[in-house]
Amino acid sequence: MLRRLRGLFSSDLAIDLGTTSTRVSVQGKGIVLDEPSVVAIRHGPSGTRNNDSILALGQAAKQMIGRAPGNIQVIQPIKDGVIADFAVTGEMLQQFIRRVQKSRAFQSSRRVVICVPYGATQVERRAIRESTMAAGAREVYLIEEPIAAAIGADLPVVNPTGSMVVDIGGGTTEVGVLSLGGIVHAVSLRVAGDKLDAAIISYIREKHGLVVGEATAARIKHEIGTAWHKSAARSTQFAGLHLGDGLPRSQDIDSSELHTTLSKCLYPIVGAIKTALEQAPPELSADVAERGIIITGGGALLRDIDHMLADETGLPVFIADDPRSCVVRGCAQALQGGDALGDVLLRE
Ligand SMILES: Nc1ncnc2c1ncn2[C@@H]1O[C@H](COP(=O)(O)OP(=O)(O)O)[C@@H](O)[C@H]1O
Ligand SMILES: [Mg+2]
């Protein structure tokens, strides 16, 4: 009875601390926070960090990118899958956790599971753990991102079967072959959504002579971008500053124009999948060949990326349900999964 009550009122948290977005889910409630991993800091007059204060967080901070005056710095503290600024990451994490807990009536148990990028150093892991403890967690468990993504995508990670998950986020793509709850082979590439945005920016500059920012490039990617040469054509309009006279101009753009640029950026992901299949033990590669590859992360939403990867690798490719939230759902399931999943949690 007591246990049932505890389960009912507990505020166990699962956190996906991503390059692009941070997502938090609460046991029994699902995802309660999904905000950009962005912090706006107002620098104090003396120039020392002691006088700095957090001005905005998440969506509010993201809106300040490219629009802030000199004394306000807008920071994305996690870059390319690594924590570039420990202090700001810690502060961001604590504020997000507090925000979630403020809206909760019961806080009897505060177990927190939080994912760390594959290959995170001991120092990074300790920093994440300490920030989470400082936010009031009683027990903190870490989980490696490819495992969390695979659990969230409903792959049978604890079985003696090879599974392959490809998580395409903003800063990194992680390709992992998993079996028996562990990572048999994994690689983290610094090629993901942000690189596609950068490629769109350079293409538009060269081809149309216009300068656009990251937000416009991302919108174009979401609306008409495609990874596959057979995708249906789509077009959209955007505004940019002309390189010649510096004046704003609007321009049409077509998906077939972008396809070559985008698919070139995705080559390294195809290469990493092939290498993983070669380097994993043959039994596991055979399992993957039979069962296919599952894609998670926001990059899985790029139009027809599954068809392109299937063409290039010759394997079946599936997009996970709600791919952006696989990691946080996987974290939550690992925490609630009892003994069967207990071993996937890292204790240090
Ligand atoms: N519909 C879409 N088409 C293409 N890319 C998308 C789409 N939706 C989101 N993305 C991209 O997914 C990336 C973010 O993925 P996400 O898994 O949330 O990242 P992270 O794990 O780094 O926080 C961004 O580069 C974003 O532009
Ligand atoms: Mg992610």
Domains and CATH numbers, the chain: 1-36+78-154+324-348 (3.30.420.40), 38-75 (no CATH), 155-319 (3.30.420.40)
DSSP string, 42-58: EPPTTSSGGG-EEEEET
Residue closest to 264 by CA, chosen among 308, 307, 298, 295? 308
Ligand 1 pocket member 194 (CB < 6 A): yes
- Other CB atoms closer than 10 Å to residue 92's CB: what's the count? 26
d(CA 218, CA 229): 20
Residue burial 155-190, b: 16+ Cβ < 10 Å; e: rest: bebbeebbbbbbbbbbbbbbbbbbbebebbbbbbbe
Substitution site in 79, 195, 302 for ligand 1 pocket (most atoms within 8 Å of beta carbon): 302
Q: For residues 304 and 262, what is the distance between their CA atoms, to the nearest angstrom?
A: 12
Ligand 1 atom, smallest distance to 324 CA: 17
- Find out whether 294 and 318 touch, Cβ atoms under 8 Å: yes
- Of all helices (H) and strands (E), which one includes residue 246? none
pLDDT of residue 106: 45
Determine if the pTM surpasses 0.85.
yes
- For 94-117, write each residue's pLDDT tens digit: 899 888 887 665 454 478 999 988
The three-class DSSP label of residue 208 is helix
Residue to substitute in 115, 324, 325, 329 for testing ligand 1 pocket (most ligand atoms within 8 angstroms of CB): 324
Burial classification of residue 61, based on how many CB atoms lie within 10 Å of its CB (0-12 exposed, 13-18 middle, 19 or more buried)? buried
Cα–ligand 1 centroid distance for 155 (angstroms): 21
Report which ligand 1 atom has the smallest distance to the Cα of 299.
12
CA dist 294 → 49, 175, 177, 235, 339 (Å): 44, 10, 11, 29, 25
| Structure confidence at residue 8 (pLDDT) | 44
The predicted pLDDT at position 263 comes to: 93
Tell me how far apart the alpha carbons of residues 288 and 175 are, in angstroms, rounded to a whole number. Answer: 12
Low-confidence residues of the chain, pLDDT below 70? 1-10, 46-50, 103-109, 338-342, 347-348
Nearest CA to 197 out of 176, 177, 222, 179 is that of 222
